[in-house]
């Protein structure tokens, strides 16, 4: 089935403002009567994935490769149990992160295993594409990638009470570089939004005008 243009994802390093804009967008579109299904990656609010939230966000207990596959598995589950049925009902899917986050963050986590972040990124994209071909996964129709100086993002993150294992300045700088490679590779789908010096309302307006 074709679900053209009904699946939008938001990407960017931690602290780039994704969740803020996703919440605003969902609220305002619902006010207009648009049927929205809001989700995130990894899925957190559905059984059994919320039990793995701490593992995904904070713990280093599990082997990195295994964790990357668990994250992929959670996305497959989200797509098949929730996203596809919602698309069939005519909902617009708004995802706070999706496969591009997995490419960016996990390619760095698996860098040593593959010998370079280029090789790990290629591997993850190939694996993802094989699941797309089987219809087990789907790609967003449009992705907004928020670009921001990692130092500014990090200042915002520091105000939070609990920081995830990824939220370290040097790591976020590398994630941004990975995102840049990914956005070049998927430049038809990914729309770069420069959020530097822009207020929340200004970022929202930029995104909203593109969706309209
Ligand atoms: P993310 O989901 O990308 O990690 P959040 O949406 O949680 O980021 O935003 C992190 C913090 O930055 C929040 O406190 C939010 O209010 C603030 N913030 C988001 N966008 C902006 C912006 N354009 N200007 C200033 N502060 C922002």
Share the mean pLDDT of the chain. 95
- Residue 2 placed within a domain: no
60 close to ligand 1 (CB < 6 Angstrom):
no
Q: With 50 as the cut, is the pLDDT of residue 152 above it? A: yes
Q: Give the pair of three-digit tokens for residue 71.
A: 């994250």
Q: Closest Cα to atom 14, ligand 1: which residue?
A: 156
**93 closest CA partner among 35, 146, 43, 172:** 35
Question: Is 88 part of a structural domain of the chain?
Answer: yes
Instruction: Tell me the CA–centroid distance for residue 181 and ligand 1, in Å.
Output: 23
Are the CB atoms for 195 and 18 separated by under 8 Å? no
Question: Using DSSP, how many helices (H) and how many strands (E) does the chain show?
Answer: 11, 5
Residue 146 domain-assigned (yes or no): yes
Contacts 24+ apart (CB under 8 A), 155-164: 155/15, 156/15, 157/14, 157/15, 162/58, 164/14, 164/57, 164/58
pLDDT of residue 90: 95
CA of 153 to the centre of ligand 1 (A): 8
Rounded to the nearest angstrom, the distance between the alpha carbon of 20 and the centre of ligand 1 is 6
Is 16 near ligand 1, meaning CB less than 6 Å away? yes
CA of 173 to the centre of ligand 1 (A): 17
Ligand 1 contact via 18 beta carbon (within 6 Å): yes
Task: Say if ligand 1 is within 6 A of residue 198 CB.
Answer: yes
Asked if the structure places residue 1 within a domain, the reply is no
Query: Does the beta carbon of 200 lie inside 6 Å of ligand 1?
Result: yes
CA distances from 194 to 101, 108, 127, 146 (A): 18, 23, 30, 6
Is 121 a member of any domain? yes
pLDDT in tens, 63-99: 999 999 999 999 999 999 999 999 999 999 999 999 9
Domain assignment present for residue 201? The answer is yes
- Check which CATH number belongs to the domain holding 184 and give it: 3.40.50.300
Edge-to-edge strand ranges of the sheet holding 190-194: 36-40, 92-96, 7-12, 142-147, 190-194
For ligand 1, whether the C-beta of 64 sits within 6 Å is no
CA angle at 159 for the pair 75 and 167, rounded to the nearest 5° = 40
Q: What does the block give as tokens for 33?
A: 């009567």
- Ligand 1 pocket, residue 149 CB under 6 Å: no
- Contact assessment for residue 115 and residue 101, using Cβ atoms and an 8 Å cutoff: no
For the stretch 28-67, pLDDT in tens is 999 999 999 999 999 999 999 998 998 899 988 899 999 9
Pocket test for ligand 1, best of 15, 40, 146 (most atoms within 8 A of CB): 15
Total domain count, the chain: 1
Per-residue model confidence (pLDDT) at position 1: 47
What is the pTM for the complete model shown? Answer: 0.96
Q: State both tokens at 12.
A: 């960017």
Residue (of 111, 118, 122, 128) closest to 75 by Cα position: 128
131 within some domain: yes
Give residue 125's domain range. Answer: 7-210
């Amino acid at each position: 089935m074709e679900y053209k243009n009904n699946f939008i994802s938001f990407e960017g390093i931690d602290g780039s403002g994704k969740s803020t804009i996703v919440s605003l967008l969902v609220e305002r579109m619902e006010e207009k009567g648009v049927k929205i299904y809001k989700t995130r990656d990894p899925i957190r609010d559905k059984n059994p994935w919320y039990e793995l939230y701490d593992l995904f966000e904070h713990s280093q207990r599990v082997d990195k490769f295994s964790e990357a596959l668990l994250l992929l598995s959670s996305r497959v589950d989200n797509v098949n149990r929730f996203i596809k049925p919602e698309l069939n009902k005519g909902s617009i899917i708004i995802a706070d992160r999706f496969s591009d986050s997995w490419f960016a963050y996990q390619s760095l986590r698996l860098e040593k295993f593959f010998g370079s972040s280029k090789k790990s990124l290629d591997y993850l994209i190939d694996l993802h594409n094989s699941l797309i071909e089987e219809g087990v996964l789907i790609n967003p129709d449009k992705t907004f990638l928020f670009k921001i100086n990692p130092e500014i993002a990090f200042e915002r993150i520091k105000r939070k009470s609990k920081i995830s294992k990824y939220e370290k300045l040097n790591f976020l700088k590398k994630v941004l570089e990975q995102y840049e490679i990914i956005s070049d590779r998927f430049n038809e789908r990914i729309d770069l939004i420069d959020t530097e010096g822009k207020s929340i309302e200004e970022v929202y307006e930029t995104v909203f005008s593109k969706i309209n």
